A and B are shown apart, each in its own frame.
Chain A
Amino acid sequence: MQLPFCTQALISLIREVVNLSHTLISLQNITKSFNGEVVIDDLNLNIHENEFITLLGPSGCGKTTMLRIIGGFETPDSGSVIFNGKNIINLPPNKRQLNTVFQKYALFMHMNVAENIAFGLKIKNKSDQYIKDKIKYALNLVNLDGYENRKPDSLSGGQQQRIAIARAIVNEPKVLLLDEPLGALDLKLRQDMQYELIRLKNELGITFIYVTHDQEEALTMSDTIVVMNQGYIQQMGTPEDIYNEPENAFVADFIGESNIIASTMIRDRLVEILGAKFECVDTGFGTNKPVDVVIRPEDIDLVKPSEGTIQGIVTHLIFKGVHYEMEVTANAHEWLVHSTDMFPVGTEVGIHVDPFDIQIMNKPESEDEEAVGVEE
């Protein structure tokens, strides 16, 4: 699967050029600290037109601060926010061509639904007929036709959230910022709203910048995921990239469940994991180099002991609905395995992993990075 270097370079160059022409927001060298504590450290990020981009990370990683900087509610210590080619860093929020859907909705409780939605349009002195049409259109878009005269506190959380979205989109922003908008909803509703948001994004054809700490939400909805931790971008890419090829242990651990094992890269396409040699597809790590290996639990095949690369014993078994979750102790390591086949506790099994399911990552360079805490 390895392309010659020059071809790869060409492809990435083409990608750059294509992306450049569509760049809507460009964050350049953004740094922000609160009370001497650095929250965002020299961050660069390009956001493209019609992109659903998700800033994903544990609480305190700087993702919400980033969104507030784009929205104009926070001023960075240094750096610039380029929107459509212009630096908007000194523009107040009311002068920016973007709208925000806030955490916990932030609806105007003293107004009814129609007044809430009309707020931005009335400020802009739109005609009554225009406002009326827009309210009808927006309520239809969020599936809440006929709710004009209801008060926000008579609505459920999901309905309030949809009103907050309607209130933002009637202003026809180029970009919609969403700050953990589904955080307060229960699981079923959250899943429904995820589909609604994808539909909305496609119907409106605008850019969504979405902040969440929920990796599943990010994987479901995004075109691009930006994984952040401690003010840095850890990895940026499509959901498939982030899930299948995490660049470091933090990303691997934060996105989904995984087995992260300290190993040694013997040579190209051969890695030694817990004393056993596994074939893999990665190259370019050098010889006898310590690395971290990521294996997703669903990528581990449990086979007869004689057919496995390593032999072990099933120590835990939990039924999870779609699959069984098992813990297999092999070579003094507890392997997390997801499988639709059930192996009772105490069964001797062999562990087999296909070469392309083994993801090799460089060891973190500093102690700091390794000590990164993961919170889900």
Chain B
Amino acid sequence: MRRLSELKNKRFLATPYFIWSAAFIIIPLCMVFYYGLTDKSNSFTLENIMSIGSIENFKALILSLALSLVSTLICLLLAYPLAMILNNLNVNQSSFMVLIFILPMWMNFLLRTLAWQTLLEKTGVINSLLNLLHLPTLNIINTPYAIILGMVYNFLPFMILPIYNVLIKIDKNVINAARDLGANGFQTFGKIIFPLSLPGVLSGITMVFVPALTTFVISDLLGGSKILLIGNVIEQEFKQSSNWHAGSGLSLVLMIFIIISMLITEKYDDGGIMS
């Protein structure tokens, strides 16, 4: 009898979550689908989704995909060695270093990106310093390079942490066993450490690629008004054109790309994080 009442209590405890997910996840998602598949007279149409075919929107989508892929790749190349270094430190050192990497996340995302804007400006902090040293100036503000920089800077911790978490769980004796069986350092990495860390790499890729693909703040602040990413296009549809239908339609298209990217990562991760 007591068990049953406990069970009832526990079910009762889940109620806030159900209300929350209904109010803030399921209903909004339904609304996005509704707006995306209707026109202003509320009749069904695929026009909103098809608007991705317009040259401007399609270019924005391709540029978004390209920049987020490049950023994800750079994040991976930077994060993997860093995670390995962290993994080789002793407990005290590594928890301090992890804190260092997380510390920027305690500050507002917008503020950090604005700071980069100030740093990178034509007469900004970095260029003033370079001028002082009579070095050539750095003119990357309002270019895709600045956007990639902003993406890598903001999303790097999301790549480091999952990889680090997987690496610290690898049994040191498994690595010793590979060495014992004749593998040198490179072979041990290629055949044992990297394959075993794949779940962390995949979850890092997802956690960087998805926000990078949908961002509009970074491109807005560091890319100037000339460079439009798909996120900016959607933002403009909602805010400037007040066209919720077109904005929702494009959001659905973006969602398809995100689902595709998750399916790809899931395919390479047998029985790991995604399942």
Q: Which of B135-189 contact A (CB under 8 A)?
A: 171, 173-174, 176-184, 187
What residues of B have a CB within 8 angstroms of the CB of A93 in the complex? 176, 179-180
Q: Which of A88-134 contact B (CB under 8 A)?
A: 92-94, 99-100, 102-104, 106-110, 119-120, 123-124
Is A106 within 8 A of B177, CB to CB?
yes
Assuming the A-B contacts A106-B173, A106-B174, A119-B191, are A100 and B180 also in contact, with contact meaning beta carbons closer than 8 angstroms in the complex? Answer: yes
Minimal Cβ-Cβ distance residue in A for B198? A110
Is A171 within 8 A of B181, CB to CB?
yes
What residues of A have a CB within 8 angstroms of the CB of B180 in the complex? 71-72, 93-94, 99-100, 168
Q: Which of A94, A109, A119, A123 contacts B196 (CB 8 A)?
A: A109
Is A124 within 8 A of B182, CB to CB?
yes
How far apart sit A123 and B177, CA to CA, in the bound complex (Å)? 13
Q: Which of B198-252 contact A (CB under 8 A)?
A: none
Q: Which of A73, A99, A104, A123 contacts B183 (CB 8 A)?
A: A123
Q: Which of B173, B179, B181, B184 contacts A167 (CB 8 A)?
A: B181
Is B182 within 8 A of A171, CB to CB?
yes
Minimal Cβ-Cβ distance residue in B for A98? B180
Q: Which of A57-79 contact B (CB under 8 A)?
A: 71-73
How far apart sit A71 and B177, CA to CA, in the bound complex (Å)? 10
Is B179 within 8 A of A92, CB to CB?
yes
Q: Which of A71, A102, A108 contacts B192 (CB 8 A)?
A: A108
Assuming the A-B contacts A106-B171, A123-B187, are A100 and B182 also in contact, with contact meaning beta carbons closer than 8 angstroms in the complex? Answer: no
What residues of B have a CB within 8 angstroms of the CB of A119 in the complex? 178, 181, 183, 191
Of the listed residues B182, B187, B192, the one surrounded by the most CB atoms of chain A closer than 10 A to its CB is B182
Q: Which of B174, B182, B192, B195 contacts A94 (CB 8 A)?
A: B182
How far apart sit A103 and B191, CA to CA, in the bound complex (Å)? 21
Q: Is the interface of A mostly helix, strand, loop or mixed?
A: loop
Of the listed residues A119, A120, A167, A171, the one surrounded by the most CB atoms of chain B closer than 10 A to its CB is A119
Of the listed residues B174, B178, B180, B187, the one surrounded by the most CB atoms of chain A closer than 10 A to its CB is B180
Q: Which of B177, B191, B192, B196 contacts A100 (CB 8 A)?
A: B177
How far apart sit A103 and B174, CA to CA, in the bound complex (Å)? 10
Minimal Cβ-Cβ distance residue in B for A115? B191
Q: Which of A72, A73, A109, A123 contacts B181 (CB 8 A)?
A: A123
Is B183 within 8 A of A100, CB to CB?
no
What residues of A have a CB within 8 angstroms of the CB of B184 in the complex? 92, 94
Of the listed residues A92, A94, A110, A120, the one surrounded by the most CB atoms of chain B closer than 10 A to its CB is A94
What residues of B have a CB within 8 angstroms of the CB of A71 in the complex? 176, 180
Is A110 within 8 A of B181, CB to CB?
no
What residues of B have a CB within 8 angstroms of the CB of A92 in the complex? 179, 184
Q: Which of A106, A108, A109, A110 contacts B176 (CB 8 A)?
A: A106
Of the listed residues A99, A106, A109, A171, the one surrounded by the most CB atoms of chain B closer than 10 A to its CB is A106
How far apart sit A223 and B183, CA to CA, in the bound complex (Å)? 32
What residues of A have a CB within 8 angstroms of the CB of B181 in the complex? 94, 99, 119-120, 123, 167-168, 171
What residues of A have a CB within 8 angstroms of the CB of B191 in the complex? 119
Is B182 within 8 A of A102, CB to CB?
no
Minimal Cβ-Cβ distance residue in A for B183? A123
How far apart sit A110 and B174, CA to CA, in the bound complex (Å)? 11
How far apart sit A71 and B176, CA to CA, in the bound complex (Å)? 10
Is A102 within 8 A of B196, CB to CB?
no
How far apart sit A167 and B191, CA to CA, in the bound complex (Å)? 16
What residues of B have a CB within 8 angstroms of the CB of A110 in the complex? 195-196
Q: Which of A94, A104, A124 contacts B171 (CB 8 A)?
A: A104
Is B179 within 8 A of A94, CB to CB?
yes
Minimal Cβ-Cβ distance residue in B for A92? B179
What residues of B have a CB within 8 angstroms of the CB of A107 in the complex? 174, 177
Query: 22 A–B contact pairs at CB < 8 A?
Result: A71-B176, A72-B179, A72-B180, A73-B179, A94-B179, A94-B181, A94-B182, A94-B183, A99-B180, A100-B176, A100-B177, A103-B173, A108-B192, A109-B174, A110-B195, A119-B178, A119-B181, A124-B182, A167-B177, A167-B181, A168-B181, A171-B182
B contacts, CB < 8 Å to A: 171, 173-174, 176-184, 187, 191-192, 195-196
Q: Which 3 residue pairs spanning A and B have beta carbons closest together?
A: A120-B181, A106-B173, A93-B179
Known: A93-B180, A123-B187. 16 other contacts (CB 8 A): A73-B176, A73-B179, A93-B176, A94-B180, A94-B181, A100-B176, A103-B173, A106-B171, A106-B176, A107-B177, A108-B174, A110-B196, A119-B178, A120-B181, A120-B182, A167-B181
